[in-house]
Amino acid sequence: MTLRIGVAGYGYWGPNLVRNFAATPGIDVVGVADLREAAREKVKATYPAIATFEDPSELMKLPDVDAVVIATPVATHHQLAALALDHGKHVLVEKPIARTSAEAEDLVARAKKADRVLMVDHTFLFTGAVQSIAKIARSGDLGRICYFDSMRVNLGLFQPDVNCLWDLAPHDLSIIDYLVDDEIVDLEVSGYCHVDPKRPDMVFLTLHLANNAVAHFNMSWMSPVKVRRFTIGGTSKMLIWDDLDQDQKIKIYDHGIDFQPEDQRSAIIPEYRIGDIYSPRVSRTEALAGVAGHFAGVIAGKETSKMDGEKGLKVVRILELADERLKTSLASLEKQRKAQTGGV
């Protein structure tokens, strides 16, 4: 049975979604909605058989649409996803699932009531790198995971409706949640506003996990170069994922620190272990193709969702708490600056 898909939003990410869904066996993209005429004209030029709509609500009402993919600004996610669910459609929405946890909770409740699939497009979960890292971490090869360290920086893209935290952190939050079964017990955050005084463009976030691990994120729209590096430190081995390295995305280091048993030492003197480095083969399949196939598989009851509404809600709750503390931190920093400069 063919799954008929409608896509709301044909801006930055929409064309990628349409292309991958259209190329997935068993899926037929039947409509695209976008407020801009120029975007609709692009759809018509590339996919003449796909109907276009200015008003997304028209797409939601179509009886021959089984599911809707939402790739519009974050501020519209709740309204459009709620409308689609209320019309009996399955929904895949871009990250983050909504602006607030209250909106996300409402979407989860609507999906449950309508018995529809609600998923969040945490695309990185379907990259060959994250799939490989998950197998390695769950095998115990790294030992007990002690820390995660992520650098996700570039020059722009400045977002019109979210700050750097909401734009970049969902990626790593969803990855860590996928890799380990752990809960966050506390967090620390700081940030800086260089372009827009009300929207941080550099953010540093530290999460403290229940199993005594720590996760640190360095996020920025102000870097002269693009960096996508993710490090996992384990008691046995350490791993670095460089997403921009096309030849060796993952490197595993047989490096670590060993201690003599307490009854055999007179002082805590570590022994540093420097072993081999190896790079496993990583699948190069496009992640969005995996997202499209997984969405269809979950709707058909053949797969269990890796990124359901509950997981999207969990991410938003962390973002919300971090954002509250970030605003407090920025206000305190500004107050200290004014005190030092005499209010100038």
The answer to whether residue 341 is domain-embedded is no
What's the CA gap between 15 and 267, in Å, rounded? 61
Give tens-digit pLDDT for 156-209: 888 878 899 999 999 999 999 999 989 999 999 999 999 998 899 999 999 999
- Reported confidence tier of residue 55, pLDDT bands at 50, 70, 90: very high
Task: Specify the CATH number for the domain of residue 160.
Answer: 3.30.360.10
CA 239 to chain centre: 20
- Reported confidence tier of residue 58, pLDDT bands at 50, 70, 90: very high
Quote the strand ranges of the chain, DSSP E. 3-8, 27-33, 51-53, 67-70, 90-94, 118-121, 145-155, 184-192, 202-209, 214-220, 222-234, 238-242, 250-258, 271-278
Q: Of the residues 271, 287, 303, which one is the last residue of a structural domain?
A: 287
| Whether 158 and 242 share a structural domain | yes
| Whether 141 and 228 share a structural domain | yes
* Spatial contact of 148 and 224, defined as CB atoms under 8 Å apart: no
Task: Specify the DSSP class assigned to residue 171.
Answer: H
**Nearest CA-CA partner of 252 in 123, 127, 135, 172:** 135
Give tens-digit pLDDT for 201-237: 999 999 999 999 999 999 999 999 999 999 999 999 9
What's the CA gap between 311 and 119, in Å, rounded? 9
The answer to whether residue 270 is domain-embedded is yes
| Whether 81 and 222 share a structural domain | no
| Whether 67 and 151 share a structural domain | no
- Reported confidence tier of residue 262, pLDDT bands at 50, 70, 90: low
The answer to whether residue 118 is domain-embedded is yes
Number of compact structural domains in the chain: 2
CA-derived radius of gyration, the chain: 22
The answer to whether residue 324 is domain-embedded is no
Beta-carbon-side half-sphere exposure of residue 224 (alpha carbons within 13 Å)? 0
What pLDDT, on the 0 to 100 scale, is given for residue 71? Answer: 97
The answer to whether residue 327 is domain-embedded is no
118-121 and 214-220 strand pairing: unpaired
| Whether 236 and 192 share a structural domain | yes
What's the CA gap between 141 and 233, in Å, rounded? 11
Mean pLDDT (the chain) is 93
Handedness of CA 119, 228, 137, 149 (dihedral sign): negative
| Whether 274 and 293 share a structural domain | no
Task: Specify the CATH number for the domain of residue 302.
Answer: 3.40.50.720
Using CB atoms within 10 A of its CB, is residue 134 exposed (0-12), middle (13-18) or buried (19+)?
middle
Phi-psi map region of 156: left, alpha, beta (phi>0 left; psi -120 to 50 alpha): left
| Whether 116 and 175 share a structural domain | no
| Whether 183 and 97 share a structural domain | no
What's the CA gap between 319 and 315, in Å, rounded? 6
What interhelical angle do 128-139 and 164-179 show, nearest 10? Answer: 40
The answer to whether residue 154 is domain-embedded is yes
The answer to whether residue 310 is domain-embedded is yes
| Whether 167 and 99 share a structural domain | no
Give the other-Cβ count within 10 Å of 51's Cβ: 19
Domain that holds residue 78: 3-122+289-319
- Reported confidence tier of residue 344, pLDDT bands at 50, 70, 90: low
What pLDDT, on the 0 to 100 scale, is given for residue 333? Answer: 85
| Whether 133 and 215 share a structural domain | yes
In this predicted structure, the answer to whether residue 330 has a pLDDT above a threshold of 80 is: yes
The answer to whether residue 255 is domain-embedded is yes
| Whether 103 and 171 share a structural domain | no
What interhelical angle do 101-114 and 309-341 show, nearest 10? Answer: 170
| Whether 277 and 294 share a structural domain | no
In this predicted structure, the answer to whether residue 56 has a pLDDT above a threshold of 80 is: yes
